[in-house]
Amino acid sequence: MEAEPKVEPPSDQWADKAWTMLTTVRRQSPLIQCITNFVSMDLMANTLLSAGASPAMLHTLEEIPHFTPNVHALCLNVGTLSADWLPSMKAAANFASNSSKPWVLDPVAAGASGFRLNACLELIQLKPTVIRGNGSEILALSKASVQPTKGVDSSHESTDAIEAAKSLAQATGAIVAVSGAIDIVTDGKRVIGAHNGVAMMQKITATGCSVTALIAAFVAVDPSNAFEATALALSVFGVAGEMGMRLAKGPASLRMHLIDSLYGLDEATLISHVKITTFCD
């Protein structure tokens, strides 16, 4: 049966947690290694900096044994994957896991080709803490099959992928997040939805990639509570989008104002806008 949003925990509970988490990221400034696609590097790094984290886009295999054990979290993104980058991603995932650091996977366009799907499935074997994709990506991973796709964009609503996200979480032990109008987060049992953001965020390339990196930063400062940290990162990014949209004239200016809004988010604004609900079967 399809899950429906039924129970809303006291919103101030989530809102307070969101502010605590954002201030912790700002104070601790976790170092986040990102091995990501060429399209997203700039927005992802600027998103992390605006949130108070410290991004490093290092991907060379030779550097990983020295660098990855010292990061606070790792973000892997297969958006412009080529065969020669995959060993770096696998090595980094192994170093992160072996040094008990969280790592997050963004399975961009997972169902678009056999190469991409297999790469994602191999990376998932290395035990990501969180997998964040759009609806089509999570459906493809859950079915482990190549699908007709719109490439990096989703042809599904996030809510179409709730059951797929739950079974992927159960099969992998990862927290699974599905972005969209409602961002879904599940540990395979619990399902929550973050209702922040604006539709125009889809018209800026790499917003999905960037929120995945923000999840890595939030999980870095609260690794024992990746479920809540993931939902809070999605909500905070969405609130920054809502605030940015008040000033934006279109996607290009929203990109700028989203970064400015994330940087300047204050307690009152964040607390009054965070909207996270619990889904029940």
Ligand X SMILES: Nc1ncnc2c1ncn2[C@@H]1O[C@H](COP(=O)(O)OP(=O)(O)O)[C@@H](O)[C@H]1O
Ligand Y SMILES: Cc1ncsc1CCOP(=O)(O)O
Binding residues for ligand X (CB under 6 A): 134, 153-154, 179-181, 183, 197-199, 201-202, 207-208, 211, 234, 237-238
Instruction: Report what 39 binds from Mg ion, ligand X, ligand Y, none; CB cut-off 5-8 Å by kind.
Output: ligand Y
Tell how far CA 38 is from the center of its chain.
17
Structural tokens at position 185: 């987060």
DSSP per-residue codes, 130-145: EEEEEHHHHHHHHHTS
Stretch that binds ligand Y, among 52-60, 165-173, 201-209, 235-243 (CB under 6 A): 201-209
Decide: is 30 part of the binding site for Mg ion (CB under 5 A). no
Given 11, 20, 28, 80, the residue binding ligand Y (CB under 6 A): 80
Q: Determine the residue type at 272.
A: S
- Least distance between ligand Y and beta carbon 40 (Å): 5
- Cα 214 from Cα 75, distance rounded (Å): 9
Site string for ligand Y, 33-72 (x = CB under 6 A): ----x-xx--------------------------------
Q: Which is nearer to ligand Y, 24 or 47 (CB)?
A: 47
Contacts for 20 with CB less than 8 Å, ≥ 6 apart? none
CA–CA dist 266, 279 (Å, integer)? 28
In the bound complex, which residue of the shown chain has the CB atom lying closest to ligand X? 208
Q: Which is nearer to ligand X, 191 or 211 (CB)?
A: 211
Q: Which does 37 bind (CB under 5 to 8 A by kind): Mg ion, ligand X, ligand Y, none?
A: ligand Y
Of these partners, Mg ion, ligand X, ligand Y, none, which one is at the site of residue 183 (CB under 5 to 8 Å by kind)? ligand X
Using CB atoms within 10 A of its CB, is residue 246 exposed (0-12), middle (13-18) or buried (19+)? exposed
By CB atoms closer than 10 A (0-12, 13-18, 19+), residue 249 is exposed
Of residues 161-200, which lie at the interface with ligand Y (CB under 6 A)?
Answer: none
